């Protein structure tokens, strides 16, 4: 792991770069494992309160495995057509179902703002709450809370990777 000062990039600049990347992207890949077999699944997310919120089927493999192990990892990256453009975040942490009404209301508002197309699946007079999403898509709301985040950015240096807080 490189020393960010020797790269000419401060911790605050790295935090900003990582935060901007997270805000610019919409899809996160969650990874889990059970009995030495790994699995990865992409999900749409919104990021706030230092957590990544997403909807998923409670019976899906990534949800079942992460709730049993109390662990998950995730990655977010920007599209790249050359090695110099590769940048992303790698994370490990825990995954939990969101059950608090205020947290859910705030999350759904942010989710619908980021993914406006989701409103097209509901009637115009329908309340868009956890029950509506559960009935329409058979999903629940979850949050991935990272405990360790690495920002990687080949535009800084090939193989550059540094721990960050976002």
Distance CA 117, CA 152 (A): 31
End-to-end CA distance of the chain: 18
Report the candidate in 127, 125, 135, 97 with the shortest Cα–Cα distance to residue 109: 127
pLDDT, tens only, 79-127: 999 999 999 999 999 999 998 889 999 999 999 999 989 888 887 887 7
Residues of the chain below pLDDT 70? 1-6
pLDDT of residue 3: 47
| Cα→Cα distances 129→95, 125, 161, Å | 21, 12, 39
CATH architecture of structural domain 11-163 = Roll (2.30)
DSSP state, residue 124: T
pTM, 2 dp: 0.90
What tokens appear for 144 in the block? Answer: 């991935």
Distance CA 31, CA 115 (A): 23
pLDDT of residue 8: 83
């Amino acid at each position: 792991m490189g020393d960010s000062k020797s790269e000419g990039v401060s911790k605050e600049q790295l935090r900003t770069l990582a935060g901007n990347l997270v805000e610019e992207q919409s899809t996160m890949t969650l990874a889990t494992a059970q009995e030495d077999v790994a699995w990865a699944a992409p999900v749409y997310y919104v990021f706030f309160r230092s957590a990544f919120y997403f909807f998923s089927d409670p019976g899906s493999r990534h949800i079942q495995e992460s709730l049993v192990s109390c662990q998950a990892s995730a990655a977010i990256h920007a599209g790249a057509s050359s090695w110099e453009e590769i940048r992303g975040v790698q994370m490990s942490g825990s995954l939990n179902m969101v059950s608090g009404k205020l947290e859910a209301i705030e999350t759904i508002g942010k989710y619908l703002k980021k993914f406006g197309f989701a409103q097209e699946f509901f009637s115009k007079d329908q309340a868009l709450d956890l029950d509506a999403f559960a009935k329409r898509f058979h999903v629940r709301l979850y949050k991935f809370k990272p405990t360790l985040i690495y920002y990687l950015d080949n535009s800084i240096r090939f193989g550059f990777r540094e721990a960050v807080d976002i």
